[in-house]
Each structure stands twice: as C-alpha cells, then as structure tokens.
C-alpha cells in the first residue's frame, strides 16, 4: 500500500548566538511540533545548534533561476555602490 | 559502492534543445553547482534520483547488521558508541532522501520502491554480522570503504547531494575509528579474541572490495557520470585507494589479509588477487545470505509504524480543523 504524503519542512539552525539561522536541509512531519522534534534528532546530534526554525516548504516563495538575469543583473553595472569606486588619497588613512 | 548499481546512466534520451544541453555542460565544466530549480537534462535528473535514493536506502538498510548487536555489546561504552553510530546511519539516510526529493520524486515513492524490491541498496548489507568482531570489521572496513567513495561526492555537481555528503563525511570518521578501536582491543586480547578478529576480516575483506562496484573494463556506466561530474574517480581507482590505505592498518593489528596474491609494487601500490564477481552478481540479484531477511525487516518495520503515521496525520488534521473553526 502506498504511503500517504506527509508535509515537507525546511529546517534552519542557529549554530551560535550572534549568527543567523542557516538552512540545513529538510524533513517530513505531520505537524510543526513533530517537525521540531525530528529536526532536533536529524540535524543537531552533535551540538550543531542553539535554535531551530521549521518552515513548511510550500510556504516559501522562491525566485525562478530563469529570471536570474532580470533579478540580479541590474546590480552588476552599479559599481559605484562599492567603496572601491571612490578615490581617496592614501594619506587620509583608513576610511 | 553505496550506489554501486546506480551509477548506470540512463540510455533513454528525450528530445532536448541542444543549446540547453550545451549551456548545462558548460556550467558543469566551469565547476558551477546545479541547484534543484535549474534546468537539467532528464537523464541527469534520473541518474541522480536513482543514485541518491540508492545511497539513502543503503544507509537505512545498513542499520540492520549493526543494530543486531546493540543489545549484545560487551560494555556500556561500546553500546553507547554503537547506538550513536546506528542513529547516524539513519540520519544519513534522511539527509539523502531529502536531497533525492529535490529532484522531484516524493519520499513516499522512494521508500515504496525499496519496500517493493524495485530499488537497490549496497551489496555489503546482505552479509550477516556473526560475532562481535564483525562490528569492529564493519566500522573499520565498510565505513572505511564508504568514506573513500563519499569524499569525492562532496564535490558532486548537484548541490543538494554534495551538501548532504559533507554532513555525512563529517560524521563518518567516528564510525571508522570506533570500529578500528574494537579490532585493536580484540587483537590485544586473548588468542580466541584475536582469532575472532581474524575471522571477521576473512569474511568481510572481499565483500568490501566488491562495494566499489564492477571493474572499470566491465562497467558500462560512469562515462556520462564522469562528464557530469557526479563521479570523480573510477571504481578501480577508489578500490585501489582503499586497499592501499587499509593494508598498513591490518598490519598494525597483526592480522592477515585473506589474499595470498597480495604484493606491493615498486610504486608502493598493493596488487590484489581476483575478486569473485559471480558472488557480487548473485547478491545484486537478491541471492545473498541476508537479502530476503533485510527486506522483510524493513517491510515489517514500515508496517509496524503505519499506526504512528496515521495517528500523527489524524491529530494534525484535527488541530488544523479546530484552528479554522476558532
Ligand atoms: Fe553512513
Ligand atoms: Fe557510517
């Protein structure tokens, strides 16, 4: 008998205070409580984290890789957004 | 290896735009990583789905030979270590299933394929663990062979697979060390204990060499997998690395590799005797010593857990309905 589908969750872990939560993988669980427990067991067996987020995968809206050009190219030509674009004499010191 | 029958590339080609294919290959050639939503050839997707899911099945079935000794470990220290190792293998299976799913096949379909006997897993897990020394030999040799295979997979072109392999590799070195420590202890023990260690090596050596899959001359696959940077070394190259790394470790234990043809070349590489490929073929065909038992155990475990999955789904549905009503 085929197994009924169980919700997919994305797991994010904060490894240390001061760092952002980082995506570590995904898992299946019937609800959020079970997803958190499973994330603890699957992704933090060696003290990898201090905090876990679980998010239903279908709640994430992702950009389409095909739109990469439209999304990110405009930033590439704007080199004046970087500090190295500006000339400041060396004797001004670190700025 | 854990993916030994799986690095077979699909022959079936669907009509794909040559420009797309060329763009894809140039990304691979530039060592760019492919991510789940990127365009990829259908054969790349199928090859990886099969390889990653076979790898996952191997981790899951791989819990069984060692799990058999959890209640019989000789000390609390050994029992805690073995339990942690078996839990890791389960974790490895789960990371890998998650990576396989990003290619568009559901977890349920992957698991059902294993339970229905349609999917393969590594030949090595169809051998029995007869004595405590087998737990030492499995950690030392089976995990040692797995590490040889898995390290290059950390650079696989498919991002989710490579990332899963990095996690797995970080955890594997403890597995091999705890196995080798068991062997060291037995070899420093009584004559009976050392004989037990030798017997385990005698039985596991050749099956471990088979883990790397058929010899390069015979394997019809891997060309395409190499081009796609899924596979970075050939079966024979990895097997040779494993032999060269393992022989000094056996010497340190004072054990004899069960291969009278073994000789060291002038270049330092060890030449080994002929592998019994008929035994390998029989195991892949389902006729190994434990094939039937392994599958039956997985099926029973899946069926015994059905009520838990049903109860969890019913509880989640009830709570969702209550929340909607409130
Ligand atoms: Fe593993
Ligand atoms: Fe392992």
Q: How confident is the model at residue A95 (pLDDT cuts 50, 70, 90)?
A: confident
Q: How many CB atoms lie within 10 A of CB B240?
A: 18
Contact A64/B37, CB-based, under 8 Å? yes
Which among B312, B317, B318 is the top mutation candidate for probing chain A, defined by the most A β-carbons within 10 Å of its own β-carbon? B312
- How far does residue B89's CA lie from ligand 2's centre (Å)? 6
Give a yes or no: residue A30 inside a domain. Answer: yes
Task: Find the CATH number of the domain harbouring A27.
Answer: 3.10.20.520
A9, A54 Cβ separation under 8 angstroms: yes
Domain-embedded: residue A17: yes
Q: Could you report the predicted ipTM of this complex, rounded to two decimals? A: 0.84
Please tell me which residue of chain A has the smallest CA distance to B37: A65
Facing residues of A27 across strands?
A9
A33: in domain? yes
Instruction: Establish if A49 belongs to a structural domain.
Output: yes
Quick one: pLDDT at residue B222? Answer: 64
Enumerate the H helices of B116-272 as residue ranges. 132-137, 143-153, 159-187, 191-210, 223-227, 235-253
Residue of B nearest to A3 (CA): B108
Backbone angles phi, psi at A10, to 5 degrees: -95, 140
B321 at A interface, C-beta within 8 A: no
Ligand nearest to the CA of B85: 2
Nearest CB to A2; choose among B99, B108, B309: B108
Q: Give the per-residue pLDDT at B173.
A: 87
More confident residue, A69 or B116: B116
Query: In a structure prediction context, what are the per-residue pLDDT tens digits for chain B, which is 326 residues long?
Result: 455 544 445 555 568 899 999 999 999 999 999 999 899 999 999 999 999 999 999 999 999 999 999 999 999 999 999 999 999 999 999 999 999 999 999 999 999 999 999 999 999 999 999 999 999 999 999 999 999 999 999 999 999 999 999 999 999 989 999 999 999 999 999 999 999 999 999 999 999 999 999 998 876 566 899 999 999 999 999 999 999 999 999 999 999 999 999 999 999 999 999 999 999 999 999 999 999 999 999 999 999 999 999 999 999 999 999 999 98
Domain that holds residue A17: 7-63
CB within 8 Å: B108 and A42: no
Option in B39, B99, B316 nearest A30 (CB):
B316
| Model pTM score | 0.91
Option in B35, B37, B312 nearest A30 (CB):
B312
Q: Is residue A16 part of a domain?
A: yes
Interface contact flag, B98 A6, Cβ < 8 Å: no
Is B101 in Cβ contact with A26 (below 8 Å)?
A: yes
Partner residue opposite B94 with nearest CB, options A8, A42, A46: A42
The answer to whether residue A87 sits within a structural domain is no
CA within 13 Å, CB half, A61: 0
Which chain A residues are Cβ-neighbours of B101 within 8 angstroms? 8, 26
The yes-or-no verdict on residue A1 having pLDDT over 60 is no
pLDDT value for B6: 42
Backbone angles phi, psi at A24, to 5 degrees: -120, -15
Q: Measured between CB atoms, which of B94, B167, B312 is closest to A27? A: B94
- B169 in contact with A, Cβ within 8 Å: no
* pLDDT value of residue B218: 77
Ordered DSSP codes for B11-76: -------HHHHHHHHHHHHTTPPB-TTS---HHHHHHHHHHHHHHHHHHHHTHHHHHTTGGG-SSH
Residue of A nearest to B314 (CA): A30
Contacts of A68 in chain B (CB under 8 A): none
pLDDT (0 to 100) of residue A2: 46
What's the total number of domains in chain A? 1
pLDDT at B219: 67
- Mean pLDDT calculated for residue range A40-53: 93
Give the pLDDT score at B3.
55
pLDDT at residue number B14: 60
Q: Is residue A84 part of a domain?
A: no
């Amino acid at each position: 008998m085929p197994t009924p589908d169980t919700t997919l969750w994305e797991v994010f872990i904060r490894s240390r205070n001061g760092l952002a939560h980082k995506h570590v993988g995904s898992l299946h669980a019937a609800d959020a409580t079970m997803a958190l427990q499973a994330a603890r067991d699957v992704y933090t067996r060696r003290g990898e984290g201090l905090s876990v987020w679980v998010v239903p995968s279908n709640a994430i809206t992702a950009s389409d890789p095909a739109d990469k050009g439209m999304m990110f190219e405009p930033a590439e030509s704007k080199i004046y957004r970087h500090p190295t674009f500006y000339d400041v004499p060396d004797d001004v010191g670190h700025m | 290896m854990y993916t030994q029958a799986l690095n077979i590339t699909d022959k079936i080609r669907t009509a794909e735009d040559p420009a797309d294919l060329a763009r894809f290959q140039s990304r691979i050639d530039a060592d760019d990583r492919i991510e789940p939503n990127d365009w990829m050839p259908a054969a790349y997707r199928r090859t990886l789905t099969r390889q990653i899911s076979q790898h996952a099945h191997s981790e899951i079935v791989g819990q069984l030979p060692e799990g058999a000794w959890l209640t019989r470990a000789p000390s609390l220290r050994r029992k805690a270590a073995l339990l942690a190792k078996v839990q890791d293998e389960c974790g490895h299976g789960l990371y890998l299933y998650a990576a396989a799913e990003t290619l568009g096949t559901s977890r349920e379909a992957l698991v059902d394929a294993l339970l229905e006997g349609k999917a393969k897993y590594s030949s090595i897990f169809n051998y029995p663990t007869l004595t405590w020394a087998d737990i030492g030999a499995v950690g030392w040799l089976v995990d040692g062979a797995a590490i040889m295979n898995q390290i290059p997979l950390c650079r696989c072109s498919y991002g989710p697979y490579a990332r899963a392999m990095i996690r797995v590799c970080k955890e594997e070195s403890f597995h091999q060390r705890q196995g080798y420590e068991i062997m060291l202890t037995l070899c420093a023990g009584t004559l009976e204990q050392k004989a037990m260690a030798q017997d385990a090596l005698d039985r596991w050596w050749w099956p471990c060499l088979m883990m790397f899959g058929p010899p390069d001359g015979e394997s019809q696959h891997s060309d395409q997998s190499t081009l796609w940077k899924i596979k970075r070394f050939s079966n024979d190259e990895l097997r040779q690395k494993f032999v060269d790394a393992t022989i000094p470790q056996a010497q340190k234990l004072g054990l004899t590799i069960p291969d009278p043809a073994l000789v060291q070349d002038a270049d330092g590489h060890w030449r080994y005797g002929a592998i019994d490929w008929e035994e390998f073929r029989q195991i892949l065909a389902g006729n190994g010593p434990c094939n039937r038992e392994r599958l039956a155990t997985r099926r029973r475990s899946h069926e015994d857990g059905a009520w838990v999955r049903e109860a969890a789904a019913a509880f989640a549905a009830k709570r969702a309905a209550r929340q909607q009503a409130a």
